[in-house]
Structure 1
Amino acid sequence: MSQIPTQSQFSPQAGNTAKLSVKGIRKNYGATTVLQAIDLDVRAGELLTLLGPSGSGKTTLLQIICGLVEPTAGSLFIDGRDETNLPVNRRDIGVVFQNYALFPHLTVKENVAFPLLMRKIAGAEIDRRVAEVLEMVNLGHAADRLPKALSGGQQQRVALARCLVYRPGVILMDEPLGALDRKLRETMQMEIKRIHRETGATIIFVTHDQEEALALSDRICLMNDGFIAQIGTPHEVYEAPANRFSAEFIGLSNIFDGDIADGMLKTEDSAIPATGLQPGDSLLVRPEHVMLTEVADGFLSGTVSETVYAGAESRLVVTLKSGKTVIVRQPAGADIAPIGTTVGLTWQPTATRIVR
């Protein structure tokens, strides 16, 4: 088997060194500002995900990084070099698109070799690199096939191989799994994690899918309305959301509002223990931390209004007297309270988070 390229071939500055730095990047379209003076460092060898809803600015930021859009203000550095005004073809960046963008009349091997031919690499070196990268993505057996003979997942791996083969300093992946079905998406997520681990490539991955971001990322850059709402590891962003938007966008959330007095949050339905809350704060409880109990023993009580079986877990929707709903996650095998049952809801106070 051909040797897999080492981390040093893709990220010579591996570690906490900034491979790519965005300094004060802003983008206006007329009077409309779509990107608000963004500062962001992408570390060498990491997989950073740009995550956010439509209109959050993540695609605009990606387009500025790869040179398709010119920023209104700010600078872009790669390996410490100012590349703000460099044209697309002179930036040390590779792009993997959602629609694969393969040449239908070329074989897999020829598609992957194309960027090397454009760079006038010697023929023997092209053959060696193409063989290596096709083995890396488990497509050595399909080298002589045309794209139409491949599945969607295989075509996506060809697109990834074509990007990896010329060893760009930064790889941009713009919603590359969006066209795949759920099972294939999950398979390709594991493939991307494996390839990233084996190559040490610096990858910026764009998605609006929070589960995908949690599964893939070393760090997540969560964007909203042209701002960066939070940057952190998947664990940090999920377990310690920096603000209400982060709490509501990442994962399922139960958020309670009310008046604060004597260490309690007085909601429309009941008073909830809430040490440390200040005026304007809200209380976050993730569904997996909510437990069903007797009505008299709960912080809150309500009626089970819906149940959803999801294989590894079940989700219950409990409607409180005010009409507010609380989501409860229960593991597979747990007894599920029937719809219409009145239940109490409780949780460990240490499982709550404060958001604003």
Structure 2
Amino acid sequence: MPKNRQIVLDSRPQGEASAANFKLLTTDTPALADGQVLVRHHYLSLDPYMRGRMNEGKSYAQPQPLGQVMIGGTVGEVAESRNPKYAAGDKVVGMGGWQEYSVVDGNQPGALRKVSTSQVPLSHYLGAVGMPGVTAWYGLVKIIEPKAGQTVVVSAASGAVGSAVGVLAKKRGARAVGVAGGAEKCRYVTEELGFDACIDYKQHKDAQSLSQALKEACPGGVDGYFENVGGIVLDAVLLRANSFARIAMCGMISGYDGKPIPMQYPQLILTNRMRIEGFIVSEHMEVWPEALAELGQLVGSGELKPRESVAQGLESAPEAFMGLLRGRNFGKQLVKLV
């Protein structure tokens, strides 16, 4: 069996996370038992939720245990199988973590999913046709429920989740307005993804300035908001929200280092009878088949053109993760392992 390189969580962050919180190890891969599968990972997914798992405090999931392989989605191929459902060479998606190989019980429901790369590149099963895409689909379709002609705003619009939100909203006849960091990301959002407008938040120092830009981009107000960030972006949207607006609360990356995220205008939630709903996509497995079918069709047809930032080699994962938390990535952040 091959040697396996792994990255474990070595210490919990105090304030901002750093690469020093992780440790790279080399271990022996155990021999397979009946029913098990050895997966060689090709790509590792880096996602903002991982930062919350590094903390010890209460959250919607158990903290990442110290000394164990960091949690994370992976795509790869079956290297060896002692399970009749899987053959060597099968392409699979799973939660293999920050390591080059994983040994998986092939009979455990949901542990591995076979995928086809005939129309969708393997890496996209960690992004647009994976958990981030389904997150976008659920928040938009089940919480925001856009109607034709309504306006949907999404923060982190060039990222793996935000990019899918806008394309899905346009498919439903809504107006899509993005918020992203930098002129290049905003160009991608409008020119390649087809959003109606995109606002560069880096050009705005406070919620009032950002709200004025939103007023120009959303002359009819905001009917739905897909929240990935928090902070002044949420405040700016609240100032432009219509009566009965819906907010899908997906992420609050501005507060992942433990700092509080004040809200300046919570009274507008009442004034406008708004609905704000937080959600975790893994709690809604019933929608995954429908969501993945639509997302796969959008990527296969070229209507959704996902961007990827790809770091090379397992040892690059900690620094790439720090870059993701600081907005340095462009699109889905991956680590290529082969």
TM-score bracket, shorter-length normalisation: under 0.3
**Structure 1 length normalisation: TM-score?**
0.23
**Structure 2 length normalisation: TM-score?**
0.24
